[in-house]
Amino acid sequence: MSKKIGITEVVLRDGHQSLMATRMATDDMVGACADIDAAGFWSVECWGGATFDACIRFLNEDPWQRLRTFRELLPNSRLQMLLRGQNLLGYRHYEDQVVDKFVEKSAENGMDVFRVFDALNDPRNLQRAMAAVKNVGKHAQGTICYTVSPLHDVDGYVRLAGQLLDMGADSLALKDMAALLKPQPAYDIVKAIKDAYGEETQINVHCHATTGVTQVSLMKAIEAGADVVDTSISSMSMGPGHNPTESVVEMLEGTGYVTDIDQDRLVKIRDHFAEVRPRYKQFESAITTADTEIFASQIPGGMITNMESQLKAQGAGDRVSEVMAEVPRVRADAGYPPLVTPSSQIVGTQAVFNVLMGRYQVLTGEFADLVLGYYGACPGERDATVVEKARTQTGKEPITTRPADELEPEWDKLVAEAAGLEGADGSEEDVLTNAMFPGVAPGFFATRADGPKNVGKTPEQVAADRAAAAGEPHAVREPIRYRVSVGGRTQTVSVEPA
């Protein structure tokens, strides 16, 4: 008998987050939605992660409207999001009522599956968000962030899986955000979880493709009992992205595993994004092929493009290799946290500071909070010298309690803050947007009525770029109109393409 393997298609969220720094506009995705909805995916990941931030920071899009749009255009699909536990979609911890409100509004606006993770794998940071998802009757997917260190092993991942199941997880996700999951560990972890908690325990496996080994890892995970795997359509895959959807479907042929995916729909989805992708070339990572150095740096796909942008902005784009070498040292000093948002950005930014200004001459506020325990517990000991520098710089003392227990109730305060902002509409959604990005949201609210801003190039601009690259710098691809005045009379002249 064959076993059906579910596919989660990630092109609408992590696909473009990893390849082009989350810059893709909703307008460039909606044309593929009918085919995505009919293809037969287990779920469609389309929200969460960095998309919320990018919508208001770069695209002048309301992320809640993006979710409502996907809900309308994907009526037959489970919509899935990535939720950072007590961090929600921001970069700090939020008080419990804010967590409850965010999950409630996400469900109301159309979300079905909440993949809940914590950057440090600290179960205390997952409990409230998991409970909130269960309270609104949606699918709570508890997440294990996979990483490699002297302190991480199969037994530890199995224990964490049990804690997530005790929280009421409807399924488990093994999240390999940096393409570190080699085939044998993939098999060992999935099999150990199934052996410990039963074959009926649903396990979803998420891998990036950066190191070139993880399509084999997906196969071994499936052989060990994995039920669902994450992929991205081929025209938006590989590099720091994900394994191609079509390749995984074809890989399973003749193995006793089936996906029941409509491959004709996959072709249409592929062609849509093949047309769209060149518009965002300016945002793409320099990493386009397999990079096994990631096994040393452990930098996840979505972090690479952002780190490159940081360095270029400082005129230090040629120092990427130095930063990649510094990242694992900073990670060790912080107690070996997994590198996933926000810990990846925190550790990565500190590594940039260390390279540009000297090791720990300046600590970012977020890194100081990380080593002082304000993001939760790391598996290892923090470097005592770094902890002391953090304490001195911030005036804060280290903590061992659940970070959210240190927070005062803040919902009423957040409502009041949003009420005074130009363009805010008084909705709880706007309150939550401002709560997560108070430095960006006011500007977005003030310009929201102007409508979305597509930062990708138009097809005509892409064609002109290609012509220039082919040695035709002055090629005309569309009519150009001039107003010409002669002797006091003005005429309009149109120059047509050859």
CATH of residue 177's domain is 3.20.20.70
One domain, residues 68 and 105 = yes
Name the amino acid, one letter, at 175.
Answer: K
What is the helix (H) or strand (E) element at residue 220, kind and residue range? helix 214-224
Residue 374 lies in a domain: yes
pLDDT score for 370: 95
Angstrom distance (rounded) from CA 118 to CA 468: 46
Name the amino acid, one letter, at 455.
Answer: V
One domain, residues 319 and 279 = no
Residue 52 lies in a domain: yes
pLDDT score for 469: 65
Low-confidence ranges of the chain (pLDDT < 50): none
**Final residue before a domain boundary, out of 283, 310, 328:** 283
Residue 477 lies in a domain: no
One domain, residues 236 and 379 = no
pLDDT score for 435: 96
Tokens of 32: 């593929």
One domain, residues 272 and 318 = no
pLDDT score for 293: 77
Angstrom distance (rounded) from CA 94 to CA 187: 36
The domain in which residue 368 lies consists of 299-404
One domain, residues 195 and 329 = no
CA distance readout (Å), 276 to 27, 33, 237, 243, 279? 10, 14, 13, 19, 6
Do residues 356 and 314 make contact, with C-beta atoms less than 8 angstroms apart? yes
Residue 304 lies in a domain: yes
One domain, residues 195 and 240 = yes
One domain, residues 211 and 122 = yes
Angstrom distance (rounded) from CA 204 to CA 17: 20
Residue 23 lies in a domain: yes
pLDDT score for 302: 56
Name the amino acid, one letter, at 361.
Answer: Q
Tokens of 385: 């010298």
Among 291, 78, 84, which residue's Cα sits nearest to residue 175?
Answer: 84
Query: How high is the mean pLDDT of the chain?
Result: 91
**Final residue before a domain boundary, out of 349, 382, 404:** 404
pLDDT score for 305: 66
One domain, residues 346 and 201 = no
Question: Within 13 Å of residue 269, how many CA atoms lie on the same side as its CB?
Answer: 28
Angstrom distance (rounded) from CA 320 to CA 30: 35
Residue 494 lies in a domain: no
* 364 backbone dihedrals φ, ψ, rounded to 5°: -70, 155
Residue 493 lies in a domain: no
Q: What is the DSSP string of 408-439?
A: PP-HHHHHHHHHTSTT--S-HHHHHHHHH-TT
One domain, residues 181 and 218 = yes
Angstrom distance (rounded) from CA 264 to CA 428: 41
One domain, residues 267 and 324 = no
pTM: 0.88
Angstrom distance (rounded) from CA 222 to CA 186: 9
Tokens of 341: 């948002």
One domain, residues 230 and 166 = yes
One domain, residues 134 and 264 = yes
CA distance readout (Å), 449 to 74, 251, 443, 445, 446? 25, 47, 11, 8, 8
pLDDT score for 339: 84
pLDDT score for 360: 96
Residue 457 lies in a domain: no
**Final residue before a domain boundary, out of 283, 311, 338:** 283
Q: How many domains does the chain have?
A: 2
Q: What is the DSSP string of 222-275?
A: HHHT--EEEEB-GGG-STTSB-BHHHHHHHTTTTTEE----HHHHHHHHHHHHH
Query: Rounded to the nearest 5 degrees, what angle is found at the Cα of 102, between the Cα atoms of 242 and 113?
Result: 40
